[in-house]
């Protein structure tokens, strides 16, 4: 078991590695596909340590997530009959997936944006979008908007708050998620009525 010092040294080695950006892209891909652990725990300290690469880190995290979203969509589209039960039981419940599928069919674009921002496993949205044969283009646009808000939002906070960003995010994360979700729901409602 690595000691705290070894873990700190490994983290520092990763931050200074020439593979840091590709590592973030791979981590983002894995987070969006199979590991429902928030990438923010890695991104914020990394962005604080590498402020000159702040926007590139956010971009690479977004790209990794979009590749993962495309992979998840493809699985849902082509293999849902074969892997659907396993995926539903791994990432949610049959009832939750049925609700997601209904929302996807009724409100697809805005539903994907909302799920892409809030801390709910995005795997559910990817599989549901593929399984319901939702438009791939609209799915990717919605996923890009959602994940850009999430990752570039972190970059903006680190840019302005610097070393205080991590504690600021921890303190206000729930309020920020609620505010962003309400804002998206408001835009969604206005676009539906318009």
Burial 55-80 (b: 16+ CB within 10 A, else e): eebbbbbbbbbbbbbbbbbebbbeeb
- For residue 4 the two structure tokens come to 């705290």
Q: Residue 97 domain-assigned?
A: yes
Whether residue 183 contacts residue 118, with contact meaning beta carbons closer than 8 Å, is answered with: no
pLDDT tens sequence for the chain (194 residues):
455 556 566 666 777 778 888 889 998 898 888 866 678 778 888 888 888 999 999 999 999 999 999 998 998 888 877 777 777 777 667 787 788 778 888 888 888 887 777 766 778 788 888 988 999 999 999 999 988 988 998 898 889 888 887 776 677 666 666 666 666 666 656 655 65
State how far the Cα of 118 lies from the Cα of 179, in Å rounded to an integer: 11
Q: H or E segment at 191?
A: helix 165-193
- What are 164-187's pLDDT values in tens digits? 877 766 776 666 666 666 666 666
Q: Residue 152 domain-assigned?
A: yes
DSSP, res 118: T
Q: Residue 167 domain-assigned?
A: yes
Q: Which domain holds residue 102?
A: 26-193
Q: What is the pLDDT of residue 184?
A: 62
Q: Residue 15 domain-assigned?
A: no
Q: Residue 149 domain-assigned?
A: yes
* Closest by CA position to 154, among listed 67, 64, 48, 49: 48
Q: For the chain, what is the domain count?
A: 1
State how far the Cα of 170 lies from the Cα of 150, in Å rounded to an integer: 15
What does pTM read for this prediction? 0.77
DSSP letters spanning 77-110: HHHHHHHHHHHHHHHS-HHHHHHHHHHHHHHHHH
Q: Residue 4 domain-assigned?
A: no
Q: Residue 16 domain-assigned?
A: no
Q: Residue 122 domain-assigned?
A: yes
Q: What is the pLDDT of residue 178?
A: 65
Kindly report the CA angle at 141 between 66 and 193, in degrees rounded to 5? 145
């Amino acid at each position: 078991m690595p000691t705290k010092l070894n873990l700190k040294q490994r983290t520092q080695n990763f931050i200074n590695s020439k593979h840091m950006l590709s590592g973030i892209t791979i981590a983002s891909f894995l987070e969006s596909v199979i590991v429902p652990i928030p990438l923010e725990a890695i991104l914020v300290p990394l962005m604080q340590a590498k402020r000159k690469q702040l926007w590139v880190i956010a971009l690479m995290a977004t790209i990794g997530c979009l590749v993962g979203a495309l992979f998840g969509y493809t699985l849902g589209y082509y293999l849902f009959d074969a892997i659907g039960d396993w995926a539903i039981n791994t990432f949610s419940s049959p009832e939750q997936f049925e609700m997601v599928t209904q929302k996807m069919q009724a409100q697809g674009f805005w539903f994907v944006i909302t799920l892409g921002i809030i801390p709910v496993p995005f795997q559910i949205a990817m599989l549901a979008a593929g399984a319901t044969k939702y438009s791939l283009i609209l799915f990717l646009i919605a996923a890009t908007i959602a994940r850009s808000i999430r990752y570039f939002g972190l970059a903006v906070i680190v840019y302005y708050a610097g070393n205080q960003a991590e504690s600021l995010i921890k303190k206000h994360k729930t309020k920020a998620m609620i505010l962003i979700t309400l804002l998206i729901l408001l835009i969604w409602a206005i676009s539906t009525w318009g």
